[in-house]
Structure 1
Amino acid sequence: METKLGLAAALTLATALPALAEVNIYSYRQPELIQPLVDAFTAETGIEVNIAFLNQGLTERLLAEGTRTPADVILTADVQHLAEAVEAGVTQPVESDVLTANVPEGFRDPDNQWFGLTSRARIVYASRDRVRPGEITSYEDLVDPKWAGRICTRSGTHAYNTALTAAMIAHHGEDYTKEWLTGLKANLAMKPQGNDRAQVKSIWAGECDISLGNTYYMGEMLEDDEQRQWAEAVRIEFPAFEDGGTHVNISGVAMTAHAKHPEDALKFMEFLTSPEAQAIYAAANHEYPVSPTAAPSDLVASWGSFTPDNTDLMDLAGLRGTALKLVQEVDFDG
């Protein structure tokens, strides 16, 4: 009897204790890029953060785990992955005055399923020696015959390029975009290959004169002893759509549908959108804060200013399938 009473008392005590304060994250962003944020959050709140880095298959993993998933939050580097997670039903809406105040409307899901954290522009890296400043002003200009044999890019099926193609569809329609892809392919110096940094290396090596890339790669190359010389061989140009602005994409955060620590997860999400965290995150990633109250790092600011395109990010995510179809129809990587 004493043993049973003791066990009952222990169980009652255990259930009365608060759950362990922690947040578990599935992240497409490398741990070293978000560790400064995690350290600052834990120091401020005492809440522990555990990170599982995934190269791919985040949504599929959440679907397979179902209610058993340990993940409370997902972090992605692309709006398409956020849209996929929402469509698969593995996220949940979050009502927070803090989040809606900190994140501008264009950088968050209309149903509050996800919230943007930082943005980056899809720009042109141009040779300092062989391309005049301001010589290229629009994405449409990339099909001009003067660029024949002078453009490098990674695969047209990569998420960064299909996002740009989706934006072209949003501005000009499918027929125009198919012609644009055909013209862009005709101007390539070589078959699409490698990543964005590899294209800058090709410019440095004299294999092409301009390439498509994300802004943050400039910061990453400047921090690398070998790649610094590639970065110093180019400058960033901010092209825009003829009837719009410069194409941007975002990193973002969402709460999982079966989060075990929703209150702590919400605190983490709100922290990520604070001016303090925005500055830390944007500086670590060499990206632009989405919060208008946070300034980019001095390095990022030195690349110049641009007007972001105002095409709805969820509209772009919805056009990715059509964009991929057009890329394959013109055999862009062939």
Structure 2
Amino acid sequence: MRPLLLASLMTATALPALAQEVNVYSHRQPELIQPLFDAFTAETGITVNSSFVDKGMVERLQAEGARSPADLILTVDVARLGEVKDAGVTQPIEDEALAAVPAALHDDENQWFALTTRARIVYASKERVAEGEVTTYEDLADPKWRGRICTRVFTHDYNVALTAAHLAHHGEEATRTWLEGIKANLTRKPEGGDRDQVKAIWAGECDIALGNTYYMGQMLSDDEQKAWADSVRIEFPTFQDGGTHVNVSGVAMTSAAPNRENALKLVEFLVSDEAQRIYAETNHEFPVKEGVARSELVASWGEFTADDLALSEISDLRPQALDLIEQVNFDG
């Protein structure tokens, strides 16, 4: 009996230590979020186990169901946050610390919250496009840009969200006409990623391209791509009745969340001043918390007024936006 009793006591003593962990499924590359997790562990003693899930996040969580080890989901783009919510694999997060996230930057049912933002801007050739020549997103459909625009496919989440924002501002018919106008202005069939468009500008294949702000930071830190970045400047277009379109990286709590209390502590940390600074600087993004300064590099790109359209509205309109993109055969 004594060995059994001793083993039982040892197990009971070990359980609290084993419970000091939180499990994260992440769409983001490990090197982009590890500094956050290291700082959280140093502060709390809670270990963060992160799994990089590039594709099939929803399918994996649905298959695991209530047995899922995942507590939190870290992902980018309102479309992906909307997908996990719509799939029923998340739960609301109620926590006073999340009051730091502006209302326009979280789900209206608290199923997901933004952690950083990025702007969907125009990269413009320094040589061939005058400063101030790019003004609005609507202007991209103007024939003056005929043969001068390149872009990644518009069925990509980033461009679907931008189209959904246009849809919210202007309605279906105007958005269809806008898409047709941009398509007519393309210099080539949509292909590649945002950085490939900047490379095309550098090579003289086009003059302007849509892209996310943070790619500038990534290119400037790459020996080969720095020349591409140096050939363009960032322009912050706006909607005619709004501001510059922004998207997010965000967090959601899974339905299963076996380590819910630890997960809440990590969420609280992610909206703290320290984490907002680390996250924004590591990823060249904008903090969501008021009063946390942008990195020196990000600040050098200039000021802009973010569109005040709620991201939850953009998320709701994404199926209609995608349908319009496919109707005009934008990527064909």
Query: Pairwise mapping of residues 233-252 of structure 1 onto structure 2 (< 5 A)?
Result: 233-252=231-250
Q: Percent identity?
A: 63
Does the Cα contact within 8 Å between 2:104 and 2:312 map onto a contact in 1?
Answer: no
Q: What per-residue deviation string (whole Å, max 9, x for no partner) do you get for residues 244-281 of structure 1?
A: 00000000011111011111111111100001100000
Correspondent of 1:14 among 2, 11, 22:
11
User: Which residue pairs with 1:135 in the alignment?
Assistant: 133
Check if 1:297 corresponds to 2:295: yes
Amino acid at match of 1:79: V
Match of 1:74 in 2: 73
Relative to the length of structure 2, the TM-score reads 0.97
- 1:142, 1:187 → 2: CA distance? 8
* Contiguous gaps of at least 5 residues in structure 1: none
Correspondences of 1:1-334 after superposition (within 5 Å): 2=1, 6-7=3-4, 10-11=7-8, 14-15=11-12, 17-18=15-16, 19-100=18-99, 102-334=100-332
Return the alpha-carbon distance in structure 2 between the equivalents of residues 89 and 329 of structure 1: 29
Q: Distance in 2 between matches of 1:231 and 1:262?
A: 42
- Report the Cα offset of residue 59 of structure 1: 1.3
Distance 1:63 1:149, change over 3 A: same
With the length of structure 1 as denominator, give the TM-score of the two structures: 0.96
- Higher deviation after alignment, 51-60 or 121-130: 51-60
- Alpha-carbon offset, residue 109 of structure 1: 1.8
CA-based RMSD? 1.2
SS at match of 1:212: strand
SS of alignment partner, residue 258 of structure 2: coil
**SS at 1:71 equivalent:** coil
What are the superposed Cα offsets for residues 173-194 of structure 1, whole Å, 9 maximum, x if unpaired? 0110000000000000100000
* Distance in structure 2 (CA, Å) of the matches to 1:82 and 1:283: 22
**2:11 is matched by which residue type in structure 1?**
A
Deviation at residue 137 of structure 1 after TM alignment: 0.5
Structure 1 residue 6, shift from structure 2 partner: 4.5
CA distance in 2, matches of 1:79, 1:11: 47
- Which residue identity lines up with residue 14 of structure 1 in the other structure? T
